[in-house]
Structures are given as C-alpha cells and as structure tokens.
C-alpha cells in the first residue's frame, strides 16, 4: 500500500485498523455460515490455520515442520471438489478485499487526526518559505503549475465496477462507525447495513464474463470521475487555496487549477484493433455528455440555493436581457410585458429599477417546482383532472407531460400512473366517487379551485430571484448541449444554433463568474465561496470533456499509411527511403498549402483506419483531444509523419465544413521506450528543433512547448529495471538539454504503471528523483488499471494523492535535486548498468529454458 499513500515513513497506531478487521471478519463469517453452511466454514478455518502455521514455521526457520504443514494443506485441498475450491478461493479473496478496505479507511482516519500532514500543501509551503523561497515566487509557481494525471485501462484491473461500488459503501459505513455520538440503535443499524453489503457481494459474480470493450473501459474511467474526483477536486483546490493564503497572503485564483486529468481509454490504439476511429469519437462525445450531465445537476442545486434578491447592476441587466429574450420568444412572458414599465423607463432615460415588479408565472422558481418539458428528477404532483401522459420524443425516448385526461376514468388512471412512479390516492375510491371528482375537476370552477389551492397566496409568494433567472438560462443551454450530444452520438442531424449551447468551458464560466462577482459585491462572499465556487473550480479543472482523450498509435502504422499514399501518387515507397529523404519529403509537404491525400484514394482497411483516426481528430480538435502519442518513436521523421497526416486531415475536414476545424492541432508526442531509442532521444529532439518549420509550429501552436514521453514498461522488459532506470534518467537529461539549447520549454510524460516492473513505486519519491531541470512546473504521468481505483477510489484518498502530486512537483521545480557531481560516479553507474543488463538478457532472452521454466512456475503457482 506504500504506492497508494506515499506515507511510508509515518508512525501510526493500528488499533483502529485491528478493530475494523475483527469486525469485518466476524460479520463475513456470519454471512458465510448462512450462505455456505458451517461444515464448509470448518474447512475454511482449517485451511487458514494450516497456511498461517506453515508461514510462521518458515519465518522461524523450522523448515521440517513447515514442509509437513504444507503437505497436509496440499492433501486437503486436492480432496476438494471444484465447487468447494471455488468457494474457498472466493472466501479468501473477499477476506483480503475487506482487509484492504479497512487499511485504506485507517489511513484516511489517521490523516484526519494529524495537525500538519507531511507532504501536505501546508507543510511544503512552510518548508519552502523557511528555506528562502520568496512568497511571491511560491505563489506564482503554484498558480502556473501544470500537472496532468492520465488515466489508462489495463488488463490487471479485473474488479467489476459493481463490486468497487459495494466496497466503497463498506468504506463509508466504517467511516460512519467512527462517529463518537453513535447510539446503540444506530450501531445496530450500521451492522445490519454491513451485513447486507457483504451478502450482496457474496451473491455477486466477481468475474467479467465478457471481455470489456474500449467503451466499457472508458465508462469505468468516467465512473472514477463521477464517483470520487468530482468531490475531491474542489476539496483539494480549497486546501491549496487556504495554504497559499496562509503563507503568502493570497488565495488561489478561482479559475486556476494546478492539476488536470487526461485519459487513454478509447484513444490508445497501439496493438488494440478494437479501438477504432468511431470508438474514439463516441468516447469523446460520451465524456462531453457526462460532463454536461454533471453540470446540470450542480446548476440545479445551485438554483435552489441562490434564492436571494440583491445583486449588482451588471447582473441585473443580464437577468433583464434573459427575460426580454424569453418575452420575445415565448407568450409565457406576455403578462409581465403589460404590467412592467422597466424597459420603457430605461428608454426614456429614467433610472431603471434593478428588477421589474412582476415576473412571469414560475419564472423565478427553481426547477424542482417548475413544470417544464425536460425530464425532472423530482416526482410531479398530478392535480385531479390531470395526469402524466407518456409521450414519445423524436428519438423514441419516453417523456412525461401534465395534461387533462380524456375518456374512461380507468384508462386515464392507467395513462397517468402506468409508469409506476406515482400511486394515485384515488385508486381505492369507488367508481361513483371517481366519476364525481372527475366531473368536478373538469369544470372551470374545479380547475381554478385546485390551482388556487396549490399556489401560494400573494402574501407568501417569493420575491424576485435574479440568480435563479440567470442560472435557469445556464441550465437551459446545458440541456440543449446535452441533447445535441445525444443526437451526435446517434449520428442524427443536429442543426442547433451555436448560441443555444455551450461548446467551451469559457462560455459556461462567464455567467458563473458573473454570479460570483455579484454575490461578492453585495456582501454575500460566504455564499459565493460555497457551492458556486466549487462549481467554478470544477469547470476550470474538467472543462467540457472531463478528461481530454489522448490518441496513441505505433510509428510503423504511420509509415504504412504514407507508403500507400506515395505509391498511389507514383512517388515510390516511403518506408524504403532513408531518414534524410523522408525529412525532405515531409518538410516540403508540410510547407505546402494543398492536401496530399486525394479524396478518391483506395487503401487497405488498416491504412483507412489510420486516416479515419486523423479525420476524427480534425473534427474533434484540441478542445476534446489531448496529445497524439507515437509509440516506438525512433526518428525525427516519425514525428513529422504524424504532423503531415494531421495537417492533411484538417485541410480536408475544413473543406467539407466550409470553415476552420474546431480547436487547434494536437500535440505530437514521441514515446521513447527501448534502451536504444532512449539513448537517441536527445538527438531526435535536436534534429526536430533544427527544422525551421517544426520549431515555428511548436512556438506558434503549442506556446513554445515540446512534450516527450518516456516508457517505463518496455524499457524494463528490454534491459531490466536497473538499466532501464539509469537509461531513463540519462535520456531525460539529454532531452531537457536539447530543448534548452533551442529555447523551447519541455514537459516530460512518464508512462508509469503500478508494479515495480512498470515503473511503479511511491509517486512522491519518483517525482523527487527526476533529473534536475526536468520538472519545471509541468509534468504528465499515467495512472494505470488497478492503481486508479487504489489511489482515487475514495474522495479522501484522491485529495491526498492530488496534494502529493502538487507538492512533489513544486519541490522538484523550486528545490530540484543536485546532479551527480563527479564523473566517476556516472562511470560507476554505467558499469553497474552494463553488468545488470547482461545478466538480465542472458537470463530472459538467451536462455532457451527460460520460457519452459516460467511456464512450469506459472502452472505450479
């Protein structure tokens, strides 16, 4: 668990952890006694005793007794049926999962009891100031920091989301159990809830019966955002802001976020034929849809909260414009026009009151009480004589509309309540009583009476709420944005006016920031800094896509695409040219203004998929997508090939649209993985930056920023962990030097995994161990598979991880480690690395019996 928490040196008491373990183990035993019977539980206990006894004997050095216990254990296991063996494996698996939940909860519990956590913002800010860093420099560095955590899928993540959710429920119950004010009845109910969760877990199939699709993997990543990061990000930014204000006197700007998130799920096509251009497009649109859906929920809650009437003059004008717009497009606002002289007095030069004296009916009420055509999360109260009538939209989805009921009363009841959401109280009445009520309700007197009964009296009607008017307009645009995305996902025509929906986060931030400024100017800063500030910080962090999607493809696939193009154009075979020929061709085409790929070209399916991917990238642009990563990059031509294919696709799409492509071009990021490629990385970057077109392109389109990715997994497979670590260190030094020589900023992208063999280890120490100058306020790093759930599965753990990233990058920027001082130290590292590499490769690649022995080992284990 050290990699999960990075709190590897803290002395902590385990009393609470032991208590939680005993409680969970006892409750699981009770559940299993009921589910599988006491006889089987006796086998479970005997297995546990034999296994633990054998381990204890081994640790004590009593080998003979340990072997005897192990033989006895093997004998008893071999006599079990397959069903019994499966239940036994499931039992111990659930024990381990519950112990892991208890350990995670215990670490969260201990962080709450510490006045100043190590590696926290408060701790590191104080440390830096004490070491001589000026407060202004600290403040500017934190505000400019750009760290991106990229979530990736991985086969080692086998837990179903259903079980992950149940595990989180147990963690929340353990947290509730820590409350000192729990009474006996509360604790009994908590125990019952724990038993219910464990029973549900046991009766749930743990295994995925079907291989997850790329879209399934992407939904799992979005689930992490909704489940934890959505809550953790505002909490984390609030913590950074408070620490900055304490130590520098200035809080973190509201729209500033030191950390953002990216994703490879649905974009990583390297070796995965299931990730197609359509999958990438669908995942990107799905991510946008979920972002909009989450914002709709937040705006709904915010509308209900901001019921105050005082606002700034600028905000009053905005609310008035929204009402005027509604008045011109909807007869619903006619009554206000006849009764208000606000706009007339304004045109006559008189001082306009902040708001009209009367609003349209229900215009100032939050959505939970207003009737609208959009689907509501709140149940509607159907008046007598009206019902909820299911309607079909154009897309075939069922919605509801309140309206008068016609025909037979029994049919009306079925229409109104057939969806099962609302049970009519009149269902138990006699048919004559129903008929009388129906006849009364259908009269003008009846309808007026009930309408009057349901509406507040004039003395109790709420005042005008300008924030609800503006936020209502925000919600309306969000709903239209969501509907537009649904049409795009279904490949249906979408002719929405761009003014009716939000395309960028800046468009959404504008009215929210106006709300914030208005509240601050009216002395309601305590309200502005609550839910509204959290929403603004979420929009600044997640944007309109939650996580920008990176694309990744192997360099050879781009060469195949260019082969097909050059052959079609009778220019020869691209892949057979030497590096200088390739560069000459690529630079010439990049400087040209015409498309290279003819629209009538016919290419093999694999090549078509590559070209389709670039077309989708051009359609989505940098507003939705992040970087284009080139696996197995080894030459400057690998980068320019992607730049050319990207440029050509953008020209073609712009011609089809009749306007420029949305967003900008994607960053092209070479990924150096093997030892050979790592050693050449600096030379490749120098060659790239020596090309005038490329250097100007980086300065103009990417703010003078070059991104380079280094791979931990393949380098470790190639040469072993020691050699890989040393070659990664030297490669980063060389790449940083190459960029510095050309006046270009560098961001290093670390492809780390969870295990040591994939570059895993404590995040904090990993960042601190990077070469000096390689972490200059910016960093990208992958978090893979099972580590995503382990590090970000709970909001409290996620806050801690984000804080660790922030402080580690800050220290590496302001107080980087010293480089090796003596050449003999580097020579010694080279000698050790060479020795380690020879030993590794002789074992793994040169020993013919290695694969056979590995297969036998795996079979035995």
Catalytic residue numbers, as ranges: 154, 717
Return the DSSP state at 463: -
Q: Nearest CA to 228 among 184, 316, 179, 294?
A: 294
Q: Nearest CA to 322 among 580, 547, 515, 62?
A: 515
- Neighbouring CB atoms inside 10 A of 541's CB total 22
d(CA 728, CA 708): 12
d(CA 592, CA 743): 26
d(CA 416, CA 421): 10
Q: Tokens in use for 292?
A: 């909009």
Question: Rg (Cα) of the chain, in Å, rounded?
Answer: 32
Nearest 5°: the CA angle 89, 94, 100 is 130
Q: Give CA torsion, residues 64, 70, 75, 76, to 10 deg.
A: 130
Q: Could you tell me where the DSSP H helices lie in 543-691? A: 555-568, 579-591, 605-620, 636-657, 675-689
Which distant-in-sequence residues (6+ apart) come within 8 Å of 438 by Cβ? 384, 385, 405, 409, 412
d(CA 672, CA 779): 16
Residue matched to tokens 């400024």:
517
Which distant-in-sequence residues (6+ apart) come within 8 Å of 571 by Cβ? 585
Cβ–Cβ under 8 Å, residues 147 and 259: yes
Cβ–Cβ under 8 Å, residues 508 and 295: yes
Cβ–Cβ under 8 Å, residues 281 and 616: yes
Return the DSSP state at 141: H
d(CA 520, CA 445): 48
d(CA 721, CA 718): 9
d(CA 122, CA 371): 48
d(CA 109, CA 105): 6
| Largest Cα–Cα separation, the chain | 104
């Amino acid at each position: 668990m050290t990699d999960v928490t990075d709190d590897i040196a803290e002395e902590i008491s385990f009393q609470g952890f032991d208590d939680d373990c005993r409680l969970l183990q006892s409750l699981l035993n009770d559940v299993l006694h009921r589910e599988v019977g006491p006889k089987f539980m006796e086998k479970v206990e005997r297995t546990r005793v034999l296994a633990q006894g054998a381990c204890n004997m081994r640790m004590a050095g009593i080998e003979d007794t340990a072997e005897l216990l192990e033989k006895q254990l093997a004998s008893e296991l071999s006599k079990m049926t397959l069903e019994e063996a499966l239940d036994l494996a499931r039992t111990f698996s659930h024990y381990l999962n519950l112990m892991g939940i208890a350990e995670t909860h215990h670490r969260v519990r201990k962080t709450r009891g510490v006045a100043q956590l190590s590696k926290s913002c408060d701790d590191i800010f104080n440390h830096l100031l004490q070491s001589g860093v000026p407060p202004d420099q600290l403040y500017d560095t934190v505000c400019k920091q750009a760290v991106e955590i990229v979530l990736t899928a991985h086969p080692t993540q086998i837990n179903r989301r259903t079980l992950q959710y149940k595990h989180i429920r147990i963690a929340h119950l353990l947290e509730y159990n820590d409350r000192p004010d729990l009474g006996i009845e509360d604790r009994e109910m908590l125990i019952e809830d724990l038993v219910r969760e464990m029973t549900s877990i046991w009766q749930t199939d743990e295994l995925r019966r079907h291989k997850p699709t790329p879209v399934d993997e992407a939904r799992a990543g979005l689930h992490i955002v909704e489940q934890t990061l959505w809550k953790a990000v505002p909490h984390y930014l609030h913590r950074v802001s408070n620490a900055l204000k304490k130590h520098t006197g200035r809080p973190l700007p509201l729209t500033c976020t030191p950390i953002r998130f990216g994703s490879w799920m649905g974009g990583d096509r390297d070796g995965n034929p299931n990730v197609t251009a359509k999958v990438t497009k669908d995942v990107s649109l799905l991510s946008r849809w979920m972002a909009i859906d989450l914002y709709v929920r937040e705006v709904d809650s915010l509308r209900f909260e901001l019921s105050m009437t005082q606002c700034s003059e600028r905000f009053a004008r905005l609310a008035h414009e929204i009402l005027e717009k509604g008045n011109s497009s909807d007869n619903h606002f006619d009554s206000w026009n006849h009764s208000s002289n606000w706009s007339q007095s304004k045109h006559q030069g008189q001082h306009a009151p902040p708001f009209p004296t009367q609003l349209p009916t229900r215009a100032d009420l939050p959505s939970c009480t207003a009737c609208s055509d959009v689907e509501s999360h709140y149940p509607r109260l159907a008046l007598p004589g009206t019902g909820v009538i299911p309607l079909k939209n154009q897309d075939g989805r069922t919605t509801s509309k309140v309206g008068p009921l016609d025909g037979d009363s029994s049919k009306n009841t079925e229409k109104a309540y057939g969806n099962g959401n609302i049970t009519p109280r009149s269902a138990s009445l006699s048919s004559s009583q129903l008929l009388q009520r129906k006849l009364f309700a259908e009269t003008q007197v009846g309808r007026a009476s009930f309408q009057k009964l349901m509406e507040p009296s004039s003395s109790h009607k709420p005042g005008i709420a300008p924030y609800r008017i503006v936020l209502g307009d925000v919600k309306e645009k969000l709903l239209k944005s969501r509907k537009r995305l649904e049409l795009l996902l279904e490949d249906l025509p979408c002719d929405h006016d761009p003014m009716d929906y939000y395309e960028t986060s800046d468009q959404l931030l504008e009215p929210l920031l106006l709300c914030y400024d208005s509240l601050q100017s009216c002395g309601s800063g305590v309200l502005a800094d609550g839910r509204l500030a959290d929403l603004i910080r979420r929009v600044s962090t997640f944007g309109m896509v939650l996580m920008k999607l990176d694309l990744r493809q192997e360099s050879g696939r781009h060469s195949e695409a260019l082969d097909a193009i050059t052959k079609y154009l009778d220019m020869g075979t691209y892949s057979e040219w030497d590096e200088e020929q390739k560069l000459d061709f690529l630079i010439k085409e990049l400087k040209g203004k015409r498309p290279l790929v003819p629209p009538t070209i016919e290419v093999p399916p694999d090549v078509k998929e590559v070209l389709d991917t670039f077309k989708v990238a051009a359609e989505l642009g940098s507003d939705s997508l992040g970087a284009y990563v080139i696996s197995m990059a080894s030459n400057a031509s690998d980068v320019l090939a992607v730049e050319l294919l990207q440029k050509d696709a953008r020209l073609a799409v712009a011609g089809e649209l009749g306007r420029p492509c949305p967003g900008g071009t994607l960053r092209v990021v070479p990924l150096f993985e093997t030892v050979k490629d790592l050693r050449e990385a600096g030379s490749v970057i120098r060659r790239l930056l020596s090309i005038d077109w490329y250097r100007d392109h980086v300065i103009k389109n990417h703010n003078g920023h070059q991104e380079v990715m280094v791979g931990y997994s393949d380098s470790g497979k190639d040469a072993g962990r020691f050699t890989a670590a040393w070659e990664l260190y030297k490669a980063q030094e060389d790449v940083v030097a190459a960029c510095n020589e050309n006046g270009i900023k560098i961001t290093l992208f670390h492809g780390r995994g969870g295990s040591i063999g994939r570059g895993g280890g404590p995040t904090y120490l990993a960042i601190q161990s990077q070469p000096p100058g390689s972490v200059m306020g910016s960093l990208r790093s992958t978090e893979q598979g099972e580590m995503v759930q382990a590090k970000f599965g709970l909001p409290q753990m996620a806050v801690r991880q984000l804080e660790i990233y922030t402080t580690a990058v800050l220290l590496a920027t302001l107080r980087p480690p010293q480089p090796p001082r003596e050449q003999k130290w580097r020579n010694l590292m080279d000698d050790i690395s060479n020795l380690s590499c020879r030993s590794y490769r002789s074992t793994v690649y040169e020993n013919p019996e290695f694969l056979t022995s590995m297969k036998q080992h795996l079979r035995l284990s």
